[in-house]
Amino acid sequence: MREATISDHGFLADGHSAVLVDRTGSVNWWCPQRFDAPSVFGRLLDPEAGHWSIRPVHDARTEWAYLPDTLVLRTVHTTAQGAVAVLDALALEPGARGHDVGLRSPRLLARIVHGLSGAVSMRLHYRPRFEYGRVVAYLHEQDGVLIASAGAARLTLRASVPLTCGEGEAHADFIVRNGQTETFTLAYAPAYDTDPQAEHDAQDVVDNAASGWLSWLNLHEYQGLYREQVRRSALVVQGMTYRPSGAVVAAATTSLPEQPGGERNYDYRFVWARDFSFTLEALWRAACSDEVNRQFAWLGRAIGRIGDDPVPIMYGVAGERDLTEHRLEHLAGYADSRPVTIGNDAWQQRQTDVPGEALGAAWLMREHLDDPLPADVRQLLRALADRTVTDWRRPDAGMWEARDTQRHHLSSKVLCWTALDRAVRFGARLGEPADIARWADARDQVRDTVLTRGWNASLGAYAGTLDGDDLDASVLLMPLVGFLAADAPRMRSTISVVEQRLAHEGLLRRWEGDPAGFVICSFWLVGCLALSGERDRAQRLFEDLVGRANDLGLFAEQIDPYTGEQLGNFPQAFSHIGLINAAGGLSDLVGSTAGMGAPPDHRIPRD
């Protein structure tokens, strides 16, 4: 049987963790304790690292879709003998609705098989492997349930069909006839938890999960263009939110490669401060204003007081700092792409754009933040502005997190300008001591530096680095954050050159030599084209990009422009955030009511 590709997977979530299940019915990824915890099913990264499949024995044609406006997945398998539907859902706390969805989820996966016609032979293969596939669990039956335990974890499987146990795995062959239903629930608990795991009715779990996700989405009534795609992406972003803290992870997975067989395989199950402003804008666009103060509270706790070290760029889902990277040498990697890593050493980098993302988000959300601003938020924003006054002159790793030499990345300077510009605009709202004159002077110095040293006349574009001759898609942020108008002559030329040199079939690479199109950069191009007056072409590009999602509407980080293969960690919050923001920007231009109100006033200057 063909191994599932990255885009052959659906995504389930419960506010703490995520499941990836492929279209054949195999659960290939689940870290049930929380997003960045060890996996119990890791087949995504190695065939021997554990899975749980429920699939037809004979060849089947498969169609799948989410139940409308939910993260409950329905897969229909049609064989020569008949058809079955499989429903998959991660459980939410019973009765949890609206903003309580995911806060206290029971860590349970429910699977239901319904017979639709005929009599379909089905096969179950349950093969848990704890600690990223290192540990073979001991399986034993107790009171009619199958318990798998080893190390720090315990799984309890309840099935309506008889199971046959082997060494570290279980099997079942069964027939599902028209109108018949078979149910399965798998519950996680720490091994040291002595409380018995309660029995859950699988249908109740599925119904409650569907109602919970729908109730959350219905609190946020987006009215702009591309409503269906925006609502789906908003659900995906919410599904990647660790609800106890409110932090949004970059992706649900680790080490899915940017290029098959390549080495750029990173752990993305953490929270990047860089994503913060883009995430908040997406929540604003999708009319999720109530999340704003919660997000700022998380950011303030995570950053803490700013000292002499670089402002931290990323955190664990509960705000942890030390994310030291190491390799899992026993795993073969997706499509033999090594290394497989957990942790991410980018946590130690200097990235001077971080204050710009935080202050930019605060300015965008200013009408939805508490008034007056809480003391800790004022202190944080002042400290970030003060730090930017000195840090903007320093080289950094850049937003693409280069692991070789630090450089003077243009996008970092532009985000430093953003931090200082928004701090000046806030003015006295940031409280004392607000050094507005000093911030304004530094802001103007940054702007002059970018305009004079960033422009490369030979390229006819703003380069990726000061005094450089390299192209970088991140320069498209200049009009999106209000540094320059998109229709200013040099910016228009930059957009054209970047598109000509870095794009193929609408997919925009980050730099020349990048192996695939980076999805959020492609959506940035949509925004720039729209702002420069090419609205029709922007909409065509947007619709083409949306059509490149998998058939569940999910995006990875990158897409190969020649094969259409999705690459990188999956699903990728950045990609879905880019979709939401681009759709909102297009809605602004045609006068639709998008999100929570009028677009932000950047007072964009011209060059």
- The per-residue pLDDT for range 126-147, each reduced to its tens digit, is 999 999 999 999 999 988 899 9
Report pLDDT for 126: 98
Mean pLDDT for the stretch of residues 592-596: 44
Query: SS3 for 424?
Result: helix
Calculate the CA dihedral of residues 201, 205, 208, 212 and round it to 10 degrees: 160
Contact 464, 395 (CB under 8 A): no
Kindly state the helix (H) or strand (E) to which residue 262 belongs, with its residue range.
none
Report pLDDT for 337: 95
Query: SS3 for 6?
Result: helix
In this predicted structure, the answer to whether residue 605 has a pLDDT above a threshold of 60 is no
Q: Please give the full DSSP string across 97-157, using - where no structure is assigned.
A: -GGGTTTT---EEEEEEEEEEEEEEEEEEEE-EHHHHTEEPEEEEETTEEEEEETTEEEEE
Report pLDDT for 291: 66
Split at pLDDT 50, 70, 90, the class of 593 is very low
Q: Helix %, strand %, coil % for the chain, to 5?
A: 35, 25, 45
Q: Which of 9-13, 24-28, 191-195, 379-383 has the lowest mean pLDDT?
A: 191-195
The tally of CA atoms less than 13 A away on the side-chain side of residue 269 is 25
CA distance linking residue 16 with residue 39, whole number of Å: 13
Contact 329, 346 (CB under 8 A): no
Split at pLDDT 50, 70, 90, the class of 240 is very high
Query: SS3 for 334?
Result: helix
Q: What is the pLDDT of residues 36-72, one digit of tens each?
A: 999 999 999 999 999 999 999 999 999 999 999 999 9
Whole-number percent of the chain with pLDDT over 90: 80
Query: Smallest Cα–Cα separation from 269: which of 243, 249, 246?
Result: 249
Q: Which of 106-115, 359-368, 547-556, 595-604 has the lowest mean pLDDT?
A: 595-604
Split at pLDDT 50, 70, 90, the class of 2 is low
Q: Please give the full DSSP string across 351-400, using - where no structure is assigned.
A: -TTHHHHHHHHHHHTGGGS-SSPPHHHHHHHHHHHHHHHHHTTS-B-TTT
Report pLDDT for 283: 76
- The answer as to CATH 1.10.540.10 being correct for domain 274-310+351-590 is no
Split at pLDDT 50, 70, 90, the class of 591 is confident
Strand partners, 61: 78
Q: Which of 191-200, 322-331, 347-356 has the lowest mean pLDDT?
A: 191-200
Query: Smallest Cα–Cα separation from 43: which of 166, 126, 111, 149?
Result: 126
In this predicted structure, the answer to whether residue 93 has a pLDDT above a threshold of 90 is yes
Query: Smallest Cα–Cα separation from 385: which of 440, 337, 449?
Result: 440
CATH of the domain spanning 6-216, picked from 2.70.98.10, 1.20.910.10, 3.40.50.720, 2.40.50.100:
2.70.98.10
Residue where the block lists tokens 């509270």? 297
In this predicted structure, the answer to whether residue 194 has a pLDDT above a threshold of 80 is no
CA distance linking residue 250 with residue 575, whole number of Å: 10
Contact 581, 538 (CB under 8 A): no
Contact 25, 252 (CB under 8 A): no
Kindly state the helix (H) or strand (E) to which residue 84 belongs, with its residue range.
strand 82-90
Q: What does the mean pLDDT of the chain come to?
A: 92
Query: SS3 for 315?
Result: strand
Residue where the block lists tokens 């990836």? 20
How many CB atoms within 10 Å of residue 211? 17
Query: SS3 for 332?
Result: coil
Contact 399, 351 (CB under 8 A): yes
Split at pLDDT 50, 70, 90, the class of 592 is low
Q: Which of 26-35, 317-326, 491-500 has the lowest mean pLDDT?
A: 317-326
In this predicted structure, the answer to whether residue 261 has a pLDDT above a threshold of 60 is yes
Whole-number percent of the chain with pLDDT over 70: 95
CA distance linking residue 499 with residue 509, whole number of Å: 9
Domain ranges of the chain: 6-216, 274-310+351-590
Query: Smallest Cα–Cα separation from 23: which of 53, 68, 67?
Result: 53
Report pLDDT for 196: 60
Report pLDDT for 598: 40
Mean pLDDT for the stretch of residues 387-401: 96
Q: What is the pLDDT of residues 268-315, one digit of tens each?
A: 999 998 887 788 888 777 766 666 677 777 787 788 778 778 888 999
Report pLDDT for 305: 79
Q: Is the peptide bond before 244 cis (omega within 30 degrees of 0)?
A: no
- 362 versus 170: which is more confidently predicted? 170
Query: SS3 for 518?
Result: strand
Strands 9-13 and 507-508: unpaired
Report pLDDT for 594: 43
Report pLDDT for 596: 39
Q: Which phi and psi angles does 133 have, rounded to 5°?
A: 85, 0
How many CB atoms within 10 Å of residue 304? 12
In the DSSP assignment, the letter for residue 399 is T
